Amino acid sequence: MDFAPSAEHEAFRKVVREFAEAEVAPHAEEWDRTHRFPLDTVRAMGEMGLFGLPFPEEYGGMGADLLTLCIAIEELARVDSSIAITLEAAVGLGANPIFRFGTEEQKRAWLPDLTAGKALAAFGLTEPDAGSDAGGTRTRAVLDGDEWVLNGTKAFITNSGTEITSLVTVTARTGPDEISTIVVPAGTPGLVIEPAYRKMGWRASDTHEVRLEDCRVPAANLLGERGKGFRQFLEILDEGRIAIAALAVGLTQGCLDECTAYANDRRAFGAPIGSYQGIAFKCADIAVAADAARLLTYRAAWLRDRGERATREAAEAKLFASEAAVTAAREATQVFGGYGFVDETPVSRFYRDAKVLEIGEGTSEIQRIVIARTLGLPV
């Protein structure tokens, strides 16, 4: 058994950590406060090759493995979850469906700009009345000559409204018992991007409701086989959940680094607060949570990199890591006392950013259902 990062993985981690500390951390509080999507930083990440990490070089990618992507997301999330989710959604939900299910022509048309970070793609699965129950999709796509005509609404779609968004891939009902996946290029008449949500966390990431109103796209924009949309998004979510777990690992590590430094520095009753077991044990518990979450996440990534499906392992990693991150952020805020409650302190932002990890790409309840089913339970 060997799912440890290699020397190359660790060298890559160092590069991303240096970038995150120099180019992201100093601005994260301001981006969060002003809800600003940091386009220049996204472009810089594109130049580093981060948006092309797991894709082959022939499409402009870096030909790296999923573990490498996890390390990049982890290091970004250690300082800023918004920039980390921007990368995670762009690669895992945006480019990955095109790479996995697209024809050669579709891949050549769309992937090079996405892998270069010159464009971002979004994935519209969730609807106002179909979230966990994504099979309840109501958006309809009807074939009219050589065009699909789409009608429906998608909720909470990450990266759908940035200046460089090039497409939104949506799931739609193409028959009574048939869900298919269709690419809708940005700017298509009838694709309406609503104003950004005002969110509790991930405030510098881009999230919109997306409406499709008699929106016409070429029949050739069908992604993969007609009627296979449900299967496709389950497969996409397996990898997406591992990447969200990596984001949770990074946030937990960020909490640990912040509160350990503070516990050594801050004094009360004539001694550093870290000399009191009540505080030291919180730091110890966060360290254990970060390590355990990291091991589950790397195991799941390693299995995928070996070509295995890893549905249960992905769900376990996502469930454990996201819940560990929420607990870590709450406890880290406690270590900071009153200063943990003000926006200037990173752990305050980490606390707000952590919650959605238990919701996006399948809630904790859905992860438990996925895991319980692998145990043979009829849930």
Ligand X SMILES: Cc1cc2nc3c(=O)[nH]c(=O)nc-3n(C[C@H](O)[C@H](O)[C@H](O)COP(=O)(O)OP(=O)(O)OC[C@H]3O[C@@H](n4cnc5c(N)ncnc54)[C@H](O)[C@@H]3O)c2cc1C
Of 126 and 311, which CB lies nearer to ligand X in the complex structure?
126
* Choices 22-30, 208-216, 312-320, 363-371 (CB under 6 A): range interacting with ligand X: 363-371
**Residue 37 touching ligand X (CB under 6 A):** no
Name residue 215's beta-bridge partners: 150
Query: What are the φ and ψ backbone dihedral angles of 364, each rounded to 5 degrees?
Result: -60, -35
Whether 299 contacts 318, CB under 8 Å: no
Q: Is 124 in the site for ligand X (CB under 6 A)?
A: yes
Q: For residue 363, state whether it binds ligand X (rule: CB under 6 A).
A: yes
Q: What are phi and psi of 118, to 5 degrees?
A: -80, -20
Q: Which residues contact 243 (CB under 8 A, 6 or more apart)?
A: 66, 69, 70, 73, 88, 91, 92
* String of DSSP letters for 70-83: HHHHHHHHTT-HHH
Q: Least Å distance between CB 330 and ligand X?
A: 19
Phi and psi of 358, rounded to 5°? -85, 0
Shortest reach from residue 157's CB to ligand X, in Å:
5
Instruction: Report d(CA 370, CA 379) in Å as an integer.
Output: 9
Residue from 41, 96, 106, 158 touching ligand X (CB under 6 A): that is 158
Site for ligand X contains 93 (CB under 6 A): yes
- Rule CB under 6 A: choose which of 24, 350, 360, 367 binds ligand X: 360
Catalytic residue among 209, 258, 316, 361: 361
**Residue 11 Cβ vs ligand X, minimum distance, rounded to whole Å:** 31
For the chain, the farthest-separated pair of C-alpha atoms sits apart, in whole angstroms, at 79
Residue number with the smallest Cβ distance to ligand X: 131
Q: Is 161 in the site for ligand X (CB under 6 A)?
A: no
123 interacts with ligand X by CB under 6 A: yes
Among 157, 237, 326, 329, binds ligand X (CB under 6 A): 157
Among 103, 132, 264, 374, binds ligand X (CB under 6 A): 132
Closer CB to ligand X, 137 or 260, in the complex: 137
Nearest to 25 by CA among 360, 352, 349, 357: 349
Which pair of tokens denotes residue 102?
Answer: 């697209």
Sole binder of ligand X in the list 86, 361, 367, 370 (CB under 6 A): 361
Known catalytic membership, residue 323 = no
State the CB neighbour count (10 A cutoff) for residue 270.
6
With CB under 6 A as the contact rule, which of the stretches 23-31, 63-71, 289-297, 360-368 interacts with ligand X?
360-368
DSSP code, position 220: G
Phi, psi of 216 (to 5 degrees): -105, 130
Q: 339 CB contacts (<8 Å, ≥6 apart)?
A: 345
Is residue 359 close enough to count as binding ligand X by CB under 6 A?
yes
247: closest CA among 25, 21, 74, 114? 74
Query: How crowded is the C-beta side of 25, counted as CA atoms within 13 Å?
Result: 18
| Site residues (CB under 6 A) for ligand X, limited to 299-358 | 356
Residues 187-206 close enough to bind ligand X by CB under 6 A: 199, 202
The minimum distance between CB 265 and ligand X, in angstroms, equals 33
Rg (CA), the chain: 21
Size of the site for ligand X (CB under 6 A): 23
Question: For ligand X, which residue of 125, 191, 222, 293 counts as binding (CB under 6 A)?
Answer: 125
The residues that touch ligand X, with contacts defined as CB under 6 A, are 89, 93, 122-126, 131-132, 156-158, 199, 202, 207, 356, 359-363, 365-366
**Residues that are catalytic:** 361
